[in-house]
Amino acid sequence: MDPHFVEGKFNPYPTEGSLLKYHIPTFKAAIAAGVSSVMPYYAFPSNTSADQGLPWYSKTQQFEEVCFALNKAIITDLLRGQLGFKG
């Protein structure tokens, strides 16, 4: 669903590890190619998701429910911290 509408606001990841397995490889490839910017997405990661193997936001929430583009765990911790994105 489109995240510009209420119905598409959250992205659930029902399969354990699917965020890292299916979505992050494209970011890894882009970072390896030297891109200067990326656009993660407008949607929010959903806390109804199966465990995605990332550090949890809190004791009760896997994700901070703010859009991926502004999400510290995704931008600062994962893309910049773990994957070395410099943009």
Res 1 pLDDT > 80: no
Q: What is the pLDDT of residues 42-75, one digit of tens each?
A: 899 999 999 999 999 999 999 999 999 999 999 9
> What confidence score (pLDDT) does residue 6 get?
84
Q: What is the pLDDT of residues 61-70, one digit of tens each?
A: 999 999 999 9
CA-to-CA separations, 19 to 30, 54, 80, in angstroms, rounded: 16, 9, 17
DSSP track, the chain: --TTSGGGSEE---STTHIIIIIHHHHHHHHHTT-S-----SSEEPTTSPP-SSPPSSSS-SS-SS-GGG-HIIIIIIIIIIT----
**Alpha-helical runs (H) found in 3-85:** 18, 24-32, 72
pTM here? 0.82
For residues 48 and 3, which has the higher predicted lDDT (pLDDT)?
Answer: 48
Res 81 pLDDT > 90: yes
